[in-house]
Structure 1
Amino acid sequence: MRLLAYDEHRLGLKPVYRRGERPLAVGAHRYRWCYVCTLVEPETGESLSLLVDGLDTEVMGWVLRELEAWLGEGEEAWVVLDRAGWHVSPKVEVPERVRLVFLPPYSPELQPVERVWPLVNEAVANRYFRDLEEMMEGVAERCRVLAQDPETLRRHTLFHWWPRTKVSA
């Protein structure tokens, strides 16, 4: 059984500035968005990130199917997530090997994935993108880099109270 945390992060063409720094890039306030859907296993730092252009119950079902395909043969996943409408809807098709575990309402501090978003934002901070597709390419590359560095993800997401499922040698 794998215990994963899941959330979505909205990124758009409106610039992300770092506090205390003057922007090094041209900025243009534009309101087009994409979402990074990330599943992370805090205990190991393994992650799966998917980029989508909108969120609804159909997209949520697709994310869960992608998770099931990502799992090893015979593995089951329990996914800890918030109570966004597209998460709790009875219309969401949850694959057989996936179980959803909902956090209490209004408790983002309990969601380990929230600590991943500043790492993802590095791809867009103080940068100007011609269009959403160019920005999504940068975000996708950043997600690939993070997926190849599970120790960084583990350091950011493994809260002291997170249940341990792996047997230590």
Structure 2
Amino acid sequence: MAAAIVVRADYTSLELRRFARRCSDADQVRRLMAVALILDGGSRSEAAKMAGVTLQIVRDWVLRFNDGGPDGLATRKAPGRASILNDAQRARLAEMVETGPIPAAHGVVRWRLCDLAQWLWDEFQLSITRHTLGRELRAMGYRKLSARPRHRGQKPDDIAIFKKKFAARLAQIRRNLPKGTPVELWWQDEARIGQQTKLTRRWAKRGTRPSAPKDQRRSSAWLFGAICPAEGKAAGIVMPRCNSEAMSMHLEEIAFHIAPGAHAVLILDQAGWHGSAELIVPANITLMPLPPRCPELNPVENLWQFMRDNWLSNRIYKSYDDIVDHCCFAWNRLVDQPWRIMSIGLRQWAHGS
């Protein structure tokens, strides 16, 4: 019979029990108590009986304790099967997913798992099932997400240049203000809400196609919305049409929500009513236009998607007044959730760390 392994003596049984009281891992607590019993002079058989395991398992626990101390007895996740793909193959797969398929060469306009599996076979002579490939892609951080439209005329460098020069433009606005004036960063956009609502995803049984109400009428209203993500504030109005007069009224509403003595930098797109000569801009607001055809820079776009998906879609609106009521309800519900505004609206490149 092999000799018993000596337990490291730089921890006392009292210290292990104190560690166990603070530990939330039940299995680790059981291992700590078994080792503490051994340190108190108990036999390995007594430790095994107390923990409900065999002597061999107690021996393994002692080895783990000797190697890593109390942390060495933490529950460890099983490593599972080794990945079928090596690092080079995963890098090429990620490159293909990022660049997307070439319709003329690959015969599809978006990658499916079966298409990527076929590409792996053509490229590396590697056979892999769709389910295994799906697990590999999820482990690499990929998910199947809905794509947002991108204007065909968008210049590829516009977004990068705007982000790079944003801090300098903001600093220039600060220099033109009285010294010590607080600056709030606001974002503004409009959304058309009407009887022609979109249909959102919903939970349903596999193999079925769920239905949702869809109206054919065309009454609509415009929801003007602005948010200050750093403060969790929002200002919105509902208008029957989108023009300079409505925008001027929205600017008045935003100015009302700016902190006393502060100045707001309002970032917005280059719609015609945002730069109209008829537009009345309050003294405590400076407008900063986004690059043309770059709506993805505006977090209010994400806000509209959230509100449509959760509060404004899959509905039948009886009339224009019903649309206005639902818009007001949805916006006021958002205003009551400042953490939601912060979560959706904060941007690292604009607000810093």
Are positions 1:152 and 2:334 aligned together?
A: no
The residue that corresponds to 1:48 in the other structure is: 235
Using CA pairs under 8 Å that are at least 6 residues apart, name the structure with larger relative contact order, 1 or 2: 1
User: How many Å apart are 1:28 and its aligned residue?
Assistant: 2.4
The residue that corresponds to 2:89 in the other structure is: none
CA RMSD of aligned residues (A): 1.7
Q: Percent identity?
A: 26
User: How many Å apart are 1:124 and its aligned residue?
Assistant: 2.2
Unaligned runs of 5+ in 1: none
Cα deviations by residue, 1:30-73 (Å, 9 ceiling, x for unpaired): 11111111110122321112111111111111111121122232
Are positions 1:161 and 2:343 aligned together?
A: no
Q: Is the 8 A contact 1:124 1:135 kept in 2?
A: no
Alignment of 1:106-117 (within 5 A): 106-117=293-304
User: How many Å apart are 1:148 and its aligned residue?
Assistant: 0.8
Cα deviations by residue, 1:58-112 (Å, 9 ceiling, x for unpaired): 1111111121122232221110000000001122111111100000111001011
Are positions 1:123 and 2:332 aligned together?
A: no
User: 1-side partners of 2:184 and 2:326: how far apart?
Assistant: 29
The residue that corresponds to 2:195 in the other structure is: 13
Q: Is the 8 A contact 1:120 1:139 kept in 2?
A: no
Q: 1:140 aligns with which of 328, 333, 337?
A: 328
The residue that corresponds to 1:96 in the other structure is: 283
User: 1-side partners of 2:253 and 2:327: how far apart?
Assistant: 19
Q: Is the 8 A contact 1:82 1:104 kept in 2?
A: yes
User: How many Å apart are 1:153 and its aligned residue?
Assistant: 1.4
User: 1-side partners of 2:232 and 2:257: how far apart?
Assistant: 15
User: 2-side partners of 1:120 and 1:42: how far apart?
Assistant: 16
Q: 2:266 aligns with which of 79, 84, 87?
A: 79
State the secondary structure of the residue aligned to 1:116: helix
Whichever residue aligns with residue 242 of structure 2, its letter is L
Aligned positions, number: 164
User: 2-side partners of 1:22 and 1:138: how far apart?
Assistant: 24
User: 2-side partners of 1:72 and 1:138: how far apart?
Assistant: 28
Whichever residue aligns with residue 137 of structure 1, its letter is D
The residue that corresponds to 2:222 in the other structure is: 35
TM-score by length of 1: 0.89
User: 1-side partners of 2:328 and 2:287: how far apart?
Assistant: 26
User: How many Å apart are 1:144 and its aligned residue?
Assistant: 0.7
Q: Is the 8 A contact 1:13 1:30 kept in 2?
A: yes
Unaligned runs of 5+ in 2: 1-182, 203-208
User: 2-side partners of 1:126 and 1:31: how far apart?
Assistant: 15
Higher helix share: 2
TM-score by length of 2: 0.44
Q: 2:292 aligns with which of 64, 82, 105?
A: 105
Q: Is the 8 A contact 1:42 1:112 kept in 2?
A: no
User: 2-side partners of 1:51 and 1:38: how far apart?
Assistant: 9
The residue that corresponds to 2:249 in the other structure is: 62
Q: Is the 8 A contact 1:15 1:29 kept in 2?
A: no
The residue that corresponds to 1:22 in the other structure is: 210
User: How many Å apart are 1:126 and its aligned residue?
Assistant: 1.0
User: How many Å apart are 1:127 and its aligned residue?
Assistant: 1.1
